[in-house]
Amino acid sequence: MRRTFLTTLLAGALLTGLAGAVPVKLGTLPLSLEPNAKLLTLNQAGIAQAYPSAAGRPDAVFLTEDRKVTMSFEWRQGKLSGADVTKLVSQFPSVIRSQVPNLKSLKSGTLESGGSTWAQFVFTTPGKTDDLRREMLVTSLQGRMFVITVAGTVKDYSRNEAVVQSLLRSIKLD
């Protein structure tokens, strides 16, 4: 349902293209990144429509050029210290298992990017024509939890992996 709604929404004029390779600030988030010309961004009106609940609404959403993979950025109010990021790797998988029905696979670990440690969770669930792939990257940003969620099917992610990974590698937290 959400995917169909988002696809319909994206057909409207709620997207803008991005210039490439010049670091830019991302709204009010204390970070910068280097957008890629092969990415689109959902404007604030589009984000509000796609995520009607303010409680779970991301601060920014990027889409691959084919509109098949989304990358949402959410700076949550919940506290998270830098030292607690690695603890999430052992604690959060049980939360995912309890909240995600029909979980097929789940991998967790840490990675270093942009001078920060990130907890990484990659999981798949069955889809209509292909498995759905979700990746959550979590770090501490000014003492609060910062979450990036990458969502698409396994095949769509594979086709767009280079563009997605390029954007994620370009993130610099302030």
What are the pLDDT digits (tens) for 51-89? Answer: 898 888 999 999 999 999 999 999 999 999 999 999 999
Q: What is the pLDDT of residue 20?
A: 52
- The rounded mean pLDDT for the chain is 87
**Structural domain count, the chain:** 1
Instruction: Answer whether residue 103 is part of any domain.
Output: yes
Question: Does the pLDDT at position 158 exceed 90?
Answer: yes
**Is 60 exceeded by the pLDDT of residue 123?**
yes
pTM value? 0.87
Residue at 147 is within a domain: yes
Q: Range of 80's domain?
A: 26-173
CATH number assigned to the domain comprising residue 157: 3.40.1000.10
Strands 105-113 and 31-33: what pairing? unpaired
11 domain residue, yes or no: no
**Does the pLDDT value for residue 165 go beyond 80?**
yes
